[in-house]
Amino acid sequence: MDLPEGVSLWRGWLDLEAQRRLLGELSALLADTPPFRPTMPRSGRPFSVTMSNAGPLGWVSDRSGYRYQAHHPETGRPWPAIPRQVLEVWDKLAAYPAPPEACLINLYEAGARMGAHQDKDEAALDAPVLSISLGAAAQFAIGGITRSGATRKLLLQSGDVLALSGPARLAFHGVDKVLAGTSPLPRLPHGAERINLTLRRVTKPS
C-alpha cells in the first residue's frame, strides 16, 4: 500500500514475544508512574485517553497548555528511563543521531479516541516521531499539514511501528477508533484496550 511521503509503517516490527516482554516492562513502569488524565488547554475538557511518560521529558497538557516537563504532574517524581527495548526500536528505525527524550504512553480504554492534531511542541522537527502500537487494533487517520486536507486511514495493529518524518513530520493525524476485543495480548494494565508509545526528540542535539 502506498503511504504519503514521509510516512513509514513497519507492520509487526515487534513479534508476539517482543510485545509480551514490552507489555511486562510497561506494566511495571506504570505501577510507579501512574497514568493521569490530561485536560485540554483553556476549556479544561478531559482527554479520552490517559497518559504517562518515560524519558527525561514527558508531554503533559492542562489548562495552562501543552508542554514538556521533567516530572509527573501528580506524583511530582521524575519520569522513569525509557525501556531499553523501546530505545532499540528508535536506534534501528529513526535514522537520527541522538536518542529520543520523550516516550509518551497513551492508554486507550474502549471508546477512547484522539482527535486530529499535529505533534509540534518539539524544537527538533528534523527528528521523526516514532510510534509503537500494542493491544487492540486502531483506526488511524493521517492527512496533510493543513487540517482540511484529505485523510488516509491506516489500521495500526499490535507490534506495528509508524514513523512520521520529513514532509509528514507535521502532518495532522489522529485515532478515530479502537477496535475493542482485537488485542492478541493478555490483559493490558489499567483496563486499557490499546497502548501507544510515541517517541520524540524534543530539543535539538548539540
Ligand X SMILES: O=C(O)CCC(=O)C(=O)O
Q: Does 201 bind ligand X (CB under 6 A)?
A: no
Among residues 184, 9, 84, 8, which one has the least CA distance to residue 195? 184
Residues in binding contact with ligand X, number by CB under 6 A? 12
Site for ligand X in 90-119 (CB under 6 A): 104, 106, 114, 119
Enter the C-alpha cell of residue 197.
508509545
Q: Does 175 bind ligand X (CB under 6 A)?
A: yes
Q: Does 72 bind ligand X (CB under 6 A)?
A: no
User: Could you tell me the maximum CA-CA distance found in the chain, to the nearest angstrom?
Assistant: 45
When CB distances to ligand X are compared, the closest residue is: 196
Among residues 174, 21, 27, 205, which one has the least CA distance to residue 100? 205
Region from 31-39, 83-91, 111-119, 181-189 binding Mn ion, contact rule CB under 5 A = 111-119
Tally of CB atoms within 10 A around 113: 15
Measured between alpha carbons, how far is 11 from 134 in angstroms, rounded to an integer? 12
Residues at the interface with ligand X (CB under 6 A)? 104, 106, 114, 119, 131, 138, 140, 156, 173, 175, 196, 198
Residues at the interface with Mn ion (CB under 5 A)? 119
